[in-house]
Structure 1
Amino acid sequence: MKGQVLAAACLAAVVAGCGSITRGTSEKMAFLSEPSGATMTSTKGYACPSTPCSLDVERSDEFDVTFTKPGFQPQIVPVRTKVAGSGAAGFAGNIIAGGVIGMGVDAATGAAMDHFPNPVVVTLVPEALPTAQRERRRRKKPEV
């Protein structure tokens, strides 16, 4: 009985330290634009037909996101990864529990990583000034 309790305690320590088990290998990301309704595509194949939206993204993926909307200039945002606080704790837990295999799994799957920025937010810039603003600019006389 004592051996089973000890084995269960050891297993719990190893599992608690493993980021791929406690955090998973994917992360929920939000994509927002002002104005809303932009199409979002990425260099890794992630896409949303209209913002705002959210997707599950592999923690190890780094990519560029492009937002497009008719009448606005496309905006590109690089999304990168970094070791996050809770990811670092899980990775460190592998060391404490002696889980060299867990460290390798976390490194390979990106379980110790988080994406930034998250959420990905852009303000789209109009391609041209609205007609009323163009007219006002034409009526102004150049200063000499």
Structure 2
Amino acid sequence: MNRFVSVALVALMGVSTSGCATVLNGTSQDIAYLSDPEGAVVKISQGQTCVTPCEFSMKRGLDQRVDFELEGYKPEFVYVQSRLGGSTFGNILAGGGIGAVVDGSNGASNRLYPRPVYVRLVPVGSDEEAVLLDEDGDVIGTVAEHNAEVEEDVVDGLESQGLRERTDDN
């Protein structure tokens, strides 16, 4: 009987110390990087480089800066924010705080936004602003508006990752 109790306790501890989002979602998320027009060079703050359209599996808990460059178009960058997802609240309701702590520490409870990172680039010499697009190609808003909204949080995240030093002009 003691052996059965020991095995049951070990199993219970394993379940209670793993986060629900970690089990269901993992700690990474596939992110597509797209541009209109296609063919832009993408440089991601974590070191990846590709040509649009492309995709990488990225850590959910890490903020990013994504730079787009295409000859004849203004260079643009987009801040990608790691945002808390709804699974944290499910963890708290279903099993208490242990799962939430596990998911929070490994980033599994977060989602990267925007997703996809889809930018309509602007030709050099144009007065237009670059815009973010959703997966259907519909305009979400300008890149400048998005970056202004999430800049403080993302820059702090990049600094904590050792990927960016704060300057007066950010």
8 Å Cα contact 1:17/1:90 also seen in 2: no
Once superposed, which parts of structure 1, at least 4 consecutive aligned residues long, lie more than 3 Å away? 7-17
Matched pairs, number: 122
* Residue 25 (structure 1) aligned with residue 27 (structure 2): yes
SS in 2 for 1:60: coil
* TM-score (normalizing by structure 1): 0.70
| Larger CA Rg, structure 1 vs 2 | 1
Gaps of 5+ in 2: 127-170
* TM-score (normalizing by structure 2): 0.60
User: In structure 1, how many angstroms separate the alpha carbons of the residues matched to 2:92 and 2:54?
Assistant: 33
User: In structure 2, how many angstroms separate the alpha carbons of the residues matched to 1:64 and 1:29?
Assistant: 13
* Residue 52 (structure 1) aligned with residue 48 (structure 2): no
8 Å Cα contact 1:84/1:113 also seen in 2: yes
* Residue 88 (structure 1) aligned with residue 85 (structure 2): no
1:116 offset after TM fit, Å? 0.6
Identical pairs, percent: 35
* Residue 116 (structure 1) aligned with residue 113 (structure 2): yes
Pairing partner for 1:103 from 82, 100, 103: 100
User: In structure 1, how many angstroms separate the alpha carbons of the residues matched to 2:104 and 2:85?
Assistant: 13
Aligned partner of 2:42 in structure 1 is: 40
Gaps of 5+ in 1: 130-144
User: In structure 1, how many angstroms separate the alpha carbons of the residues matched to 2:64 and 2:100?
Assistant: 24
Amino acid at match of 1:19: A
SS in 1 for 2:100: helix
Q: What RMSD, in angstroms, separates the aligned Cα atoms of the two structures?
A: 2.8
CA distances 1:62-96 after superposition (whole Å, capped 9, x unpaired): 011100011111011110011122x3355325xx3
Q: Which has the higher contact order (CA 8 A, sep 6+)?
A: 1
Aligned partner of 1:79 in structure 2 is: 80
User: In structure 2, how many angstroms separate the alpha carbons of the residues matched to 1:15 and 1:84?
Assistant: 19
SS in 1 for 2:29: strand
